[in-house]
Amino acid sequence: MAYTAIDDGTSFFHTQLYTGTGANQDVVNDAHSGNFKPDFLIIKNIGSGSYGPHLYDSMRGVSDKRYAFHIDQNYGDDQEQTSSGTVVQTFDTDGFRAGSSTNIYNILWINGLNNNYIAHQWKINGGTTSSLSNTGPDSVVQINTTMGVNILTYTGNGSNSNVKHGMGEIPDMLWVKRRNGGDSSWAVWHKDLVTPAANFLKLDATDAEASGVWDGVHPSDEKFFISGGSSYTNVSGSDYVAYIFKSKQGFSKFSKYTGNGHSEGLGPFVYTGFAPALVIIKRIDSTQDWIVHDYKLGTKASTGSSKGNKGNVNSAAYRLNNTSAIDDWGDIDMLSTGFIPRSDAASINASNGKYIYMAFAEHPLVTSTGIPTTAR
């Protein structure tokens, strides 16, 4: 069996840095020309502390209505439907189109003049969907089992139910968000929570893991549970979206580690089996932020100017649950086989602190043909 089915991580996950123009602009990826149309997109203004991450996907659409989520907020995409052009206009074969507005404030999230941005992009299957009938709510899914990512929508029925996800494997992580009918935080499940069947995290908050939402029912290889009447997952008549992830050798990993409180490269070595491009870390036993490290931020200051290349050190990060610009929220070393926290910051490496993470690869440790790869 081959070590990985994905030799080039950028064929499914790509990060693009760009500068806003204020006018409609096509953000063109610098990889896989003509063959990278994103289906799942997170954009962050990395130079300003006033604009949180925006999330888009091809399931909810960007054509007649443009559905944006503010990840750091608890309200739905019904509050972000607009035809004013201030959001992502299209998903293109080379990237996406960032919109414009006569109101300069409205576009600062994704395309403000001379503002600097990072766009994390996942290519799933071009918006192709299928429907799954169920005894509970039916679901519409967009799945790529090779890369282990699924976008799913359903409408709540208010009763204890299950939703089919179609992955054919037990997921490692779920993000669920209420879209309309009222405000509700993002509900996150991860297989390595202290009490994974029962507890959850809020993507838009610093909270430690707490009980609720899943009623102690672990996801299966076919379905995940939604508690009747829970505003997070199952209010009758409300629409929901779920982003579902499964670790794939050489491409992605969803796991945990325990901090040791050391700094300067003496933190715990976290093995992923690939050179990470993106690492998102959350402490689960205490109140802390969701910390986002991307290998393309390693040499970028909050203004977009050079921080100076420190080899494998990735010293610039932003917070997924916050509007803050990029800053030194806790250095990590990104290596050919994983990462090491270089800081004793409580957000990534407190002594005996419990952490979960999600990571996507720049490239695998070993290709499908058995060829080893090396660090940057």
Q: Which pLDDT tens digit goes with each residue over 309-362? A: 445 778 799 999 999 998 888 889 999 999 999 999 999 999 999 999 999 998
Residue 34 has pLDDT above 70, yes or no: yes
Residues in the chain: 376
Give the pLDDT band of residue 186 (cuts 50, 70, 90): very high
pTM: 0.93
Which residues, including other chains, have CB under 8 Å from residue 371's CB and lie 6 or more apart?
Answer: none
User: Mean of the per-residue pLDDT values for the chain?
Assistant: 89
Separation between Cα atoms, residue 260 and residue 300, nearest integer Å: 27
What does the pLDDT average to over 87-113?
Answer: 87
Tally Cβ neighbours within 10 Å of residue 50: 11
Residue 369 has pLDDT above 90, yes or no: no
pLDDT of the residue at 330: 83
Q: How far is CA 355 from CA 53, 282, 320, 361, in A?
A: 22, 6, 15, 19
**One-letter amino acid for residue 376 of the chain:** R
Q: What are φ and ψ of residue 295, in 5° steps?
A: -60, -20
Q: Which residue has the higher pLDDT, 218 or 85?
A: 218
Q: Cα 334 to the chain's mean position, in Å?
A: 18
pLDDT of the residue at 303: 38
Angle at 204 between CA 137 and CA 229, to 5 degrees: 30
Q: State pLDDT tens for residues 199-231.
A: 999 999 999 999 889 988 999 999 999 999 899
Contact assessment for residue 346 and residue 286, using Cβ atoms and an 8 Å cutoff: yes
Separation between Cα atoms, residue 217 and residue 42, nearest integer Å: 29
Which tokens go with 303? Answer: 């203004």
Rounded-to-10 torsion of CA 79, 173, 189, 286:
-100
Separation between Cα atoms, residue 38 and residue 92, nearest integer Å: 7
Tally Cβ neighbours within 10 Å of residue 179: 20
Q: State pLDDT tens for residues 227-264.
A: 998 999 999 999 999 999 999 999 999 999 999 999 88
pLDDT of the residue at 84: 54
pLDDT above 70 covers a percentage of the chain that reads 90
Residue 114 has pLDDT above 80, yes or no: yes
Closest CA to 90 of 108, 71, 110, 72: 110
Closest CA to 94 of 131, 129, 71, 119: 119
What does the pLDDT average to over 114-123?
Answer: 96
